[in-house]
Amino acid sequence: MRVSRVLIVGGGASGVLVAVNLLRKSESCEVILVEPNQKLGLGLAYSTNDSEHLLNVPAGRMSGLVEEPASLCEWAKVDENAFLSRQDYGRYLNFLLERELSRVGSDRFKHLENWVVGIEQLGNGYRCTLDSGEFVDSDKVVLAVGNSDALVPEFFGDLSMSSRVVRDVWREGLTTEFDNVAIIGTGLTFYDMALSILRNRPRAVIHGISRNGLLPSPHLRHRAPALPVPVDARLSAQGIRDYLSSVGDRWREAQDGIRHDLQEIWAAFPEEEKKTFINQYFRWWNSLRHRSAPEIDERIKSLMQTGQVIIHKASVESISEVSDDLLLKLSNGETLKVNQVINGCGNQMVATHPLIEKLVQSGLLVRGPLGYGVACDTKTLALKDAQGSTHSGIYGIGPILIGELLETTAIPEIRVEADLVARELL
């Protein structure tokens, strides 16, 4: 029997967890992981050099393995309510992979430090083209390309390219040399960037700007069990909003219950209801869902009291360059003069990865619901082509499935997807 060969595109958390599951579940499958970075498992989320950037989910819910729910806590020797650094989580993912490689040997795993720039069907398998011009043939392919590019507001377009203007902080990096900084967006990226700047520039003033002025809510020190989801909350976007508004201080437990079932709820929504949820409620949902570690929340609130962190409930109407400064005109009538502007608006929902764009244009893949991500069979995560047919050998995992699954960007969902994809491949 010929040894099955699986090629995984992307070596962040999603790609590494698929590789780990394949090596665990098969004694013969050969795994080729194509990732330009030398270090695996980091991706954008866990490649930070700042030890103060913490996970926004407690350790007890961040195991990478379905079969070992306490895996992370045991590795880190921490309580389930602890919030580890993202650096440590990257090390943990690497540990999971190295553990399997030490068990099965290195013959079954190969890491190619390249980009995949093309994929085509070749007989019963697939041929992947690398940026080096080389070809790699495989029986199956898994697309684990991670997050799309940052959502860059139009007003960044006319600004010069310099360390004073950061369009995509996770890809470009952060220069902490300025004392008066504006960050567009007030989510978890805002928290991370504010703390990084203030660690290096203790007297800096950070301005956070967003239309709703909402900050991430903190996790509780000890997580309470999720609440069951009532029928009305499953039927409409407004039903979700009404339910979470009705439970008072137990909104976290209520939202955790909805999140657990959200893929199922989302799949049952008709297209118009999906549009309503995205257009009217998604920002609100994310402000509740993307919670911060309690200690990070306390630090930010303390800085707000001292005036070093200032929140502006407004949108940016324009940014202009004045000598060495940047002048921001806000919709509330304010004008801010700062040294640096950082885009912290999050990622685009439409998949913008160059490879995904190319595969959609070729018809090998097709856009998902509402044009978000790519289409798949939600029971197997096998991807679909432009004719609506399900591929027998191309699978997806993570953010590229956002249109089909909605809740598909965090480890609690990705570990389940990695387990499912590995089982389907084998």
Domain definitions of the chain by residue range: 5-149+348-425, 154-217+291-343, 231-289
At the fourth CATH level, the homologous superfamily of domain 5-149+348-425 is FAD/NAD(P)-binding domain (3.50.50.60)
Comparing CA positions, the residue from 174, 221, 173, 206 lying closest to residue 300 is 206
Measured between alpha carbons, how far is 304 from 220 in angstroms, rounded to an integer? 20
Other C-beta atoms lying within 10 Å of the C-beta of residue 158 = 10
pLDDT tier at 183 (50, 70, 90 boundaries)? very high
Comparing CA positions, the residue from 91, 16, 8 lying closest to residue 48 is 91
Task: List alpha helices for 225-328, DSSP H.
Answer: 237-246, 251-268, 271-276, 282-289, 294-306
Q: Which residue type is seen at 411? A: I
pLDDT value for 165: 85
**pTM score above 0.85:** yes
What's the CATH class of domain 154-217+291-343? alpha beta
Does residue 67 surpass a pLDDT of 60? yes
pLDDT value for 350: 65
**DSSP string covering 126-189, please?**
EEEEETTS-EEEESEEEE---PPPB---GGGTTS--STTEES-HHHH------SEEEEE--SHH
197 in Cβ contact with 204 (< 8 Å)? yes
pLDDT tier at 1 (50, 70, 90 boundaries)? very low
pLDDT digits (tens, 9 = 90+) for 126-169: 999 999 999 999 999 999 998 877 777 777 777 766 778 888 87
pLDDT digits (tens, 9 = 90+) for 327-359: 999 999 999 999 999 988 877 666 678 999 999
pLDDT digits (tens, 9 = 90+) for 256-281: 999 999 999 999 999 999 999 999 99
Strands across the sheet with 340-343, in order?
Answer: 165-166, 340-343, 180-184, 205-210, 309-313
What number is the average pLDDT over the span 113-123?
Answer: 96
pLDDT value for 156: 78
User: Token pair for residue 193?
Assistant: 């960037």
Q: Which residue type is seen at 401? A: L
Comparing CA positions, the residue from 37, 38, 36, 42 lying closest to residue 17 is 42
In sequence order, the β-bridge partners of residue 292 are: 218
pLDDT value for 351: 60
User: Taking the mean position of all CA atoms in its chain, how far away is CA 227?
Assistant: 25
User: Token pair for residue 425?
Assistant: 């491949």
User: Taking the mean position of all CA atoms in its chain, how far away is CA 284?
Assistant: 18
pLDDT value for 159: 75
Per mean pLDDT, which range of 44-53, 160-169, 191-200, 407-416 is the poorest?
Answer: 160-169
Q: What is the torsional sign of CA 121, 126, 127, 128?
A: positive
pLDDT value for 138: 97
Domains 5-149+348-425 and 154-217+291-343 in one fold: yes
Per mean pLDDT, which range of 62-76, 169-183, 366-380 is the poorest?
Answer: 169-183
Measured between alpha carbons, how far is 215 from 208 in angstroms, rounded to an integer? 9
Measured between alpha carbons, how far is 347 from 150 in angstroms, rounded to an integer? 4
HSE-CB at 244 with a 13 A cutoff on CA atoms is 22
Tokens 């009538």 correspond to what residue? 333
320: left (phi over 0), alpha (psi -120 to 50) or beta: beta
Measured between alpha carbons, how far is 222 from 299 in angstroms, rounded to an integer? 19
Measured between alpha carbons, how far is 64 from 398 in angstroms, rounded to an integer? 13
**Element housing 90 (H / E):** helix 86-104
The size of the chain, in residues, is 426
Does residue 3 surpass a pLDDT of 90? no
**DSSP string covering 262-273, please?**
HHHHHHHS-HHH
Average pLDDT over all residues of the chain = 92
Measured between alpha carbons, how far is 317 from 410 in angstroms, rounded to an integer? 32
pLDDT digits (tens, 9 = 90+) for 394-403: 999 999 999 9
pLDDT: is 352 or 31 the higher one?
A: 31
Does residue 247 surpass a pLDDT of 90? yes
373 in Cβ contact with 351 (< 8 Å)? yes
Q: What is the DSSP letter of 381?
A: -
114 in Cβ contact with 130 (< 8 Å)? yes
29 in Cβ contact with 426 (< 8 Å)? yes
Q: What is the share, in percent, of the chain residues with pLDDT greater than 90?
A: 79
With H, G, I as helix, E, B as strand and everything else as coil, classify residue 41: coil
pLDDT value for 192: 92
pLDDT value for 47: 84
